[in-house]
A = this chain, B = another copy of it.
Amino acid sequence: MATVQDVAKKAGVAPITVSRVVNNSGYVSKETRERVEAAVTELGYVPNTLARSLRSKRTHTLALVLSDITNPFFTLLARGVEDAASDAGFTVVFCNTDESEKEERRYLELLLQKKVDGILLVPARLAADSVSFIQSQGTPVVVLDRRLSEPLTDVVRCDSETGAYQLMRLLLQLGHRRIAILSGPPHVSTAIDRVAGCQRAMADFGAADLAVDVYYGSFTHASGGQMARRAVATEPRPSALFAANNFIAIGALRALHDLGVKVPEEMALVGFDDLPPSLITFPFLTVAAQPAYEMGEKGTRLLLERLSGKNGDPPREVVLPVELIVRQSSGNGPGKAG
């Protein structure tokens, strides 16, 4: 592993001159440049970014901390982050927390020690502790997908509340009166906001005989299945289910199928998050679709902006719209054919 020193010696110049050639910084005469470049290729010199970072205080590395990259929503978000980061010459470290506060903290400590230039965080909790911890080390952070209890930093998220409102309005206007909401963890903003959106729709379009149960679980297909089973077992049985994310919807759909409950004829189902066309041959679920890729991209761009000076600015909140996509699973109303 050749170093600047070696190259300098070989080219008969000072180390700093090599540095200047390699980084295209400062003035170097054409001749010396050529001499240095020759030495570089001859020795197979590869600059050591570690040492560079120690001096320059920039690692050109971002971190993406999310719950589970296995969820296609987050996969797409991650791809958006990586593409935007890569364009700017940044590299991305990814960390799965599985919504665990403890894991999140562990990772953040690790990342701060590594001196990543910035962190993109999908926080496991509404509470802003993690963000203020990151900020206490002077590291910029952008929150993705979720709200914080306090506006400590830039946030890029989707309008969960409106999305849920639209889905619930659809169900109510179709005539559903008994509905079960299968939500996520009660401490995650998206779960909270989606329930809130449902409730606003209920206030606007609900009838007197409306009966809505809210179940809190986790954003997994196992949990979706369990909540669906509990909902189906209640008397009188609901005629529609609202799933707070894609995994919950799929778990619920599977459970309904196993129970022999036909969707949408016997039970309507709507959910959050769409699956990309590369994954799903026959789209069936009525959903509020979120622009996951754009979220990752936009968040990364905001973070990079912060890194390149624009810091003093107050925290921004970018709320991207969700798109209501009506398909078969929402049906034509209770008791009617799908």
**Contact of B282 with A113 in the complex, beta carbons under 8 Å:** no
Q: Which residues from chain B contact A46 at a C-beta distance below 8 Å? A: 109, 112-113, 137
CB distance from A109 to the nearest CB of B (A): 7
Give the size category of A's interface with B: 35 or more
- Can you tell how many copies of this chain the complex includes? 2
Residue of B nearest to A255 (CB): B281
**Contact of A136 with B44 in the complex, beta carbons under 8 Å:** yes
**Contact of A277 with B79 in the complex, beta carbons under 8 Å:** no
**Contact of A69 with B59 in the complex, beta carbons under 8 Å:** no
**A282 CA to B329 CA in the complex, in Å?**
14
Q: Which residues from chain B contact A96 at a C-beta distance below 8 Å? A: 79, 82-83, 86
**Contact of B83 with A75 in the complex, beta carbons under 8 Å:** no
Q: Which residues from chain B contact A233 at a C-beta distance below 8 Å? A: none
Contact partner of A69 (CB less than 8 A), chosen from B69, B86, B254, is B69
A47 within 8 A of partner (CB) = yes
A279 within 8 A of partner (CB) = yes
A110 within 8 A of partner (CB) = yes
Q: Which residues from chain B contact A221 at a C-beta distance below 8 Å? A: 277-278
**A138 CA to B2 CA in the complex, in Å?**
11
Q: Which residues from chain B contact A138 at a C-beta distance below 8 Å? A: 1
- A114 in contact with B91 given A50-B54, A53-B50 (CB within 8 Å): yes
**Contact of A61 with B93 in the complex, beta carbons under 8 Å:** yes
**A282 CA to B49 CA in the complex, in Å?**
49
A220 within 8 A of partner (CB) = yes
